[in-house]
Amino acid sequence: MANSTEAPPTSFTLSNGARMPAVGYGTFQSAAGNDHVEDFVSTALRVGYRHIDTALAYGNEKEVGRMIKKSAIPREELFVTTKLAQPWHRPEDVEEAMDESLKALGLEYVPHAYLPGPNHETVRHSSGNGKPVVDYAASKGYPATWAAMEKLVSIGKARAIGLSNFNILKTKKILEVARIKPAVNQVELHPYMPQHALLAFSARNGIHLTAHQPLGGTPVGVVALNNHIPGPLHDQTVKNIAKRLDKSPAQILLSWALQRGTSVVPKSARESRMKENLEVVRLSDEDFEALNGLKSDGNSIRYMDPRKHVGFDIFREDADEPVDDHAPWDEQWYRDLSQANGPGREQLFRGQKVPLCTPLNDTYINGI
């Protein structure tokens, strides 16, 4: 933590020497969908954002790209992050996925990309339960996906590469084989999910952490395991500090995040909130430590948790999930299918020639 008299950081230097603006604009899951994302991105760029966070899976790269071009802001001033969608994790698909993102964004390269069906859409479970069919081989073979990501840097399509939603165990496995060390890991971070151990581990290994959902928030419903629990925006300690400093609770949470050395990508559809999110403050050591101690790693609250959606816990530190090659709901389905279709059932599920999905561990592609 820096001295409490210093101004909050406006950017962070990554391991490859690139500078990432400390506060970015997140484009995922706008309440209004993607219909107005062009307006939102245009406003964000106009009020001063120079770090835009998007992803192929968000379905808005074209809109983001159009607004970047229309803004006429020099490319070297912009830091654009995109992510490799889950159905593109097979090593042979990585460069094609990047080409799709670059084409949609209208860029020659992106500053940063993350590793997270016939047209690579997610395949849903044949039982009709709405769950994604997981590609277990690709999910377990993420070091090979990382090697394919490294090639993107070598051929100039990405300036830096990183991770998203990787815990310590999985990050260690990447570091064991990496030719290019991850520059960034974008994970859920806020005072209710501080991830102190991951932050310390990342700092020791030169990996910058970016906070998605830095305000807590509510992720997509299928992975919102704890959305019934009020987030840190409603915490009384946060409110008390905000009132005393004449700031909003959101500004206090973003200030805390920057002060501990992590960048943030909050989202908002309102111009006033966009401006507010850029107006961070330096917290006193006392206030900083009060927020730091709201939750420990042992009693933290994770708002984005896909375990009930994919069938295993991608954040386990004692086992590299997935361990099995099937989801809990497969067993009853297999029994039902066996009774109905006999030995040919394999053709309907494990033998299907379709792109499957990997969980929410992504890779992250970053340009300048």
Cis ω for the linkage preceding 87 (within 30 of 0): no
**Alpha-carbon gap, residue 177 to 146, rounded angstroms:** 9
Map residue 259 onto helix, strand or coil.
helix
**Alpha-carbon gap, residue 41 to 68, rounded angstroms:** 8
Q: Give kind and range of the element (H or E) at residue 255.
A: helix 249-259
> Residue type at 5?
T
CB 353: neighbour CB atoms within 10 A? 6
- The HSE-up count of residue 79 (CA atoms within 13 Å, CB side) is 25
Rounded to a whole number of angstroms, the distance between the first and last alpha carbons of the chain is 25
CA 248 to chain centre: 25
Active site residues: 58
**Alpha-carbon gap, residue 194 to 260, rounded angstroms:** 10
**Alpha-carbon gap, residue 230 to 142, rounded angstroms:** 34
**Alpha-carbon gap, residue 40 to 34, rounded angstroms:** 10
Closest CA to 358 of 82, 138, 28, 55: 138
Tokens 């200030």 belong to 255
**Alpha-carbon gap, residue 163 to 201, rounded angstroms:** 14
C-alpha torsion angle, residues 132, 224, 182, 176 (rounded to 10):
-70
CB 202: neighbour CB atoms within 10 A? 23
Q: Answer whether 281's CB lies under 8 Å from 251's CB.
A: yes
Q: At 21, give phi and psi (nearest 5°).
A: -55, 135
